[in-house]
Structure 1
């Protein structure tokens, strides 16, 4: 079995962060989100992985992941070009898949439970496809699956006004090779995209069996800033203490809860850190770091209070305003200016940004 991770798309809902890099490299607990997908595949015994790249700085993904050997996998890069739908992305992997069954995994998804049980037995089964589903409160926001009494999927509807079930498609799929024939038969949707739900429905209409697997635990699609912060919180809930022997913890520092601190990071006297918190390497921290905060490498936080936030890295935060529930891109700088006149706030704000003062 092979793995196919989708890492195209423009990530418009995460702008301005995605003006400078793919959304799949945004870190969750200081680890790029796409790495969670790679680790899930590897842990399920799938080490031959194709990554579908789009037009939003694909070289950054290649540079971050290399050939995959660092993570125990073998990576092949596949160019999709302009995104034309999930089914179009799947079709670009046909030569890579080369007749094998495969997992298609959206590269901005995070799943608590992993996929080992999901893939188990699929190769030997009668099923043409198996879909990962989860119960959701408002299925009108998702692709929704309708099941028969045997757990087979009999119908798929994208964002139905009157859903017949509360089972949403998670964004992780198992396919056998006949999915490519189904993709060849479908037409672009009203969005002018080839929809993977239409291709799966084509399988169902041809009387091929499509299995379901309802996932337990949480699942997050990190497509929006609030989703990224939620995923960060969920991952941080699972961390263990890990303070590098090469970190410097000065006197009069209070550490509470589960905390990870990287090498060559200095926690200065008077600092209070309440976990769960992850702090990267080569950082300087003095102030208050509250729960559910991830701080990337080479960041300086001085005389600042921050919680429930992600600082991607290489940043300077020196502010007398408390920072909370924030997603700060690489090379960010937040400073207090009490000396300049006239008094005011000066900003460089990207598209779709929110500022609260």
Structure 2
């Protein structure tokens, strides 16, 4: 079995961060979102992985992710020249996929469930397609499944105005080689894309073996700021292990599960976990509250920060008011003038500079 991970797209919902980088490389708990998917796939015993990339961000994805050695996998990069739909991505990857069964994984998804059980269900029942579902409160924002009274999959509808259920497509699929013939038989949708939901519906119409299973645990589509912060919170809550290799002075206090990277300095500061701090950071006269991730080479001086993500190379200086629910881009600079508001919320893109007056 092979894997196909989609890491193209323009990431419009995460702008301004994604004006300068791939949305799948935005870090959650200091690790690119894309890497969680790779690790989950490798843990399911699938190591031959193709990654769909776009002309705009593909080189960055290749440079950061590499050949796959770090994951115990072999990665092939596949250029999709335009974002023309998920089924178009599969069509583009046909030379890599051949006639192998494969898992297709959208690179900005995070799930808690183990993929092994789904893989085994797909293989043991010799299915043509297996789709994963999760109940959501806003099904109109997703592809939605309609099931009959016995729980059998009847059809899939892409972002319907009147959803037939609250069961959203998670963005993880298992396919046999028959999906290629189904894709060849469909036409572009009203939005000009080849929809994978139409191809799966084609399999259902042809009475192929198509099944749906529901996730038992959480799922997050990290396409928006609040989703990114929630993913950061959950990962820090469930997977963070304390490991402090930086320098913490005697005036500082570290409470709870906190990871601090090499050569980072903590001076006269309080850090209350769960918190992860990268390498070569300088944190002085600061309070870092729970559910905060701080990338490498970040400077925080006279800063009060909580439930936020700060990307590599950012500088926040003199902001003693509490910063909450914020995403600060790479190399962004944030400084505070003398007149100070009570609370601050930000989503600041890479290379930005903000002065509060």
Q: TM-score by structure 1 length?
A: 0.92
Gaps of 5+ in 2: 340-345
Helix, strand or coil at the partner of 2:144: strand
Cα distance change on mapping 1:213 and 1:348 into 2, 3 Å: closer
CA distance in 2, matches of 1:113, 1:284: 36
Is this contact kept in 2: 1:239–1:258, CA < 8 A? no
What is the total number of aligned residue pairs between the two structures? 346
2:27 aligned partner: 27
**2:67 match:** 67
The structure-2 alpha-carbon separation of the partners of 1:348 and 1:174, relative to structure 1 and needing over 3 Å to count, comes to closer
Deviation at 1:70, TM superposition (A): 1.2
Q: What's 1:327 paired with?
A: 327
Q: Does the 8 Å CA contact 1:268/1:285 hold for their aligned counterparts?
A: yes
Q: Pick which of 224-233 and 33-42 moved more.
A: 224-233
Q: CA deviation at 1:213?
A: 1.2
Q: CA deviation at 1:348?
A: 12
Change (3 A) 1:334 1:162: same
Runs of at least 5 residues in structure 1 that lack an aligned partner in the other structure: 340-346
Shift of residue 141 of structure 1?
Answer: 2.3
Report if the CA contact (8 A) 1:152-1:209 is conserved.
Answer: no
Which SS does the other structure have where 1:64 is aligned? helix
Q: Is the 8 A contact 1:239 1:276 kept in 2?
A: no
Greater shift, 82-91 or 160-169, is seen at 160-169
Deviations 1:69-93 (A, max 9, x none): 0111110011111110011011111
Q: Distance in 1 between matches of 2:266 and 2:112?
A: 31
Deviations along 1:100-120, one digit per CA (max 9) or x if unpaired, are: 100000000001123111111
CA drift of 1:250 comes to 0.6
Q: Hey, what does 1:198 align to over in structure 2?
A: 198
Q: CA deviation at 1:15?
A: 1.2
Q: Would the aligned equivalents of 1:101 and 1:123 in 2 still touch at CA under 8 Å?
A: no
Retained in 1: the 8 A contact 2:329–2:349? no
Distance 1:49 1:350, change over 3 A: closer
Contact 1:85 1:196 in 2 (8 A): yes
Q: Deviations over 1:172-192 (max 9, x none)?
A: 000000101111111111110
Deviates more, 1:300-309 or 1:130-139: 130-139
In structure 2, what is the Cα distance between the partners aligned to 1:293 and 1:302?
16
Q: Which runs of 4+ in 1 moved over 6 A?
A: 347-351
Q: 2:276 aligns with which of 275, 278, 285?
A: 278
Report how far residue 149 of structure 1 moved.
Answer: 4.6
- Offset at 1:49? 0.2
Q: Distance in 2 between matches of 1:56 and 1:124?
A: 40
- Give the distance between the partners of 2:236 and 2:214, measured in 1 at CA: 24
| Alpha-carbon distance in 2 for matches of 1:182, 1:334 | 51
